Amino acid sequence: MRILLVKTSSLGDLIHSFPALTDAGLAVPGLCVDWLVEESFSDVPAWHPLVSEVIPVALRRWRHGWWRAWRRGELTEFRQGLQREEYDLVIDAQGLFKSAALARFAHGTRVGYSMRSARESVAAWFYQRQFNVSREQHAIERVRALFAMALDYPLPKSAPDYGLHFSTVHDAGLRRLVLLHGTTWASKHWPERYWAELTHLATEAGFEVVLPWGDPDDRLRAERIIKAAGSGELLPRLGLTDLARTLASASGVVGVDSGLAHLAAAVGVPAVTLYGPTRAELTGAIGPRQHNLVVDFECAPCMYRECSYQGQSKVQPACFGSLDAHKVFEQLRIQIDMAT
């Protein structure tokens, strides 16, 4: 049986799909999966052993120049490439208008979430079979449920298995912490002052602290944190696969709500992820050595991209005042000790 999985972005959403693939591979002998994904994330699907072919799409790039992409023949080439295969099922696990529209180009029975279940209800109009999946459950469990219903097997009750195995070289004498300080929403950012304090605490405890970065703003933030802490190392810019290996070989990871934090949980490294404006019960990082720290604040989780709190606060975003560096480092030490 051959299926096409449509899940184009973002990094966290892609990682949330891995346990469903693991389930399906165990339940359906001989299952082969192709994955349609945004070109900037084309490395990611291939991490799972069940994925046979990765089909990149350039929606993010094309939307800034549809005419140019058409003139170059990119749109025609993409459509022809997608239609080379006859699929038994085309599963849209994203539930957006854009993902459903892409699924429509593929040859095969299109399935996805019902109007009540999809993130954008209009997406359901594109499917030939629809499934009701509660939106009040974790994103990982939503995808697992969708796959179980679409492929007709009992939904496993086991903990999520991401199926990721990265070859890493562990230096027994190296105690390295990775700080994932970057995220998309302004309201998700842990205060830089706390990052610097955490870096100082970790260095004093004998850890090497490294900070990755993905864009110029990330790099500038990392440089400010290192300068304020008087310690820490700025990593070179890494691709996603190299970042995954870096996380997998670390002694521990601290991150804010981001795709990389979900990746840290998925590779099984001792990790702490910080949640302020977002709902950890729906999109929290899940992993065998993962712990989510959730703020204790009157208006959290607000689900706002910008902090709108008008009262007095010692930090911004205001809700993170309840999660200082000492509390975070203490929890990280617990996670590391549990893993040894």
Q: What's the CATH number where 23 sits?
A: 3.40.50.2000
Whether residue 212 is found in the same domain as residue 145: no
Q: How high is the pLDDT of residue 131?
A: 98
Position 56 in a domain: yes
Q: How high is the pLDDT of residue 108?
A: 98
Q: How high is the pLDDT of residue 60?
A: 85
Is 14:45 a contact under the CB 8 Å cutoff? yes
Q: How high is the pLDDT of residue 39?
A: 96
Position 239 in a domain: yes
Whether residue 47 is found in the same domain as residue 186: no
Whether residue 282 is found in the same domain as residue 189: yes
Whether residue 40 is found in the same domain as residue 120: yes
Mean pLDDT of the chain, nearest integer: 95
Position 161 in a domain: no
Q: How high is the pLDDT of residue 56?
A: 96
Q: How high is the pLDDT of residue 68?
A: 82
- Of residues 274, 232, 271, the one with CA closest to residue 252: 271
Whether residue 318 is found in the same domain as residue 285: yes
> Rounded to whole angstroms, how far apart are CA atoms 251 and 33?
33
pLDDT tens profile 247-279:
999 999 999 999 999 999 999 999 999 999 999
Range of the structural domain that residue 54 is part of: 2-151
Whether residue 203 is found in the same domain as residue 331: yes
Position 157 in a domain: no
- Of residues 16, 81, 8, the one with CA closest to residue 282: 16
Whether residue 123 is found in the same domain as residue 258: no
Whether residue 220 is found in the same domain as residue 319: yes
What is the number of domains present in the chain? 2
Q: How many CB atoms lie within 10 A of CB 297?
A: 19
Cα distances (Å, whole numbers) of residue 145 to 120, 178, 246, 262: 18, 33, 31, 19
73: left (phi over 0), alpha (psi -120 to 50) or beta: left
Q: How high is the pLDDT of residue 69?
A: 75
Q: How high is the pLDDT of residue 326?
A: 98
> Rounded to whole angstroms, how far apart are CA atoms 340 and 326?
21
Q: How many CB atoms lie within 10 A of CB 324?
A: 17
pLDDT less than 70: residues of the chain? 167-173
Whether residue 31 is found in the same domain as residue 122: yes
Position 186 in a domain: yes
Tokens standing for 237? 């810019």
Position 170 in a domain: no
Position 168 in a domain: no
Tell me which residue has tokens 């399935």.
Answer: 111
Q: How high is the pLDDT of residue 88?
A: 98
Whether residue 181 is found in the same domain as residue 125: no
Handedness of CA 26, 284, 10, 267 (dihedral sign): negative
List all residues 6 or more positions away from 235 whose beta carbon is below 8 Å from its beta carbon.
Answer: 210, 211, 212, 213, 246
Whether residue 127 is found in the same domain as residue 63: yes
> Rounded to whole angstroms, how far apart are CA atoms 50 and 183?
29
Bond preceding residue 322 cis, omega within 30 of 0: no
Last residue of a domain, one of 90, 116, 151: 151
Position 112 in a domain: yes
The torsion defined by the Cα of 134, 137, 140 and 142, in degrees rounded to 10, comes to -10
Q: How high is the pLDDT of residue 171?
A: 57
Whether residue 180 is found in the same domain as residue 321: yes
Q: How high is the pLDDT of residue 205?
A: 97
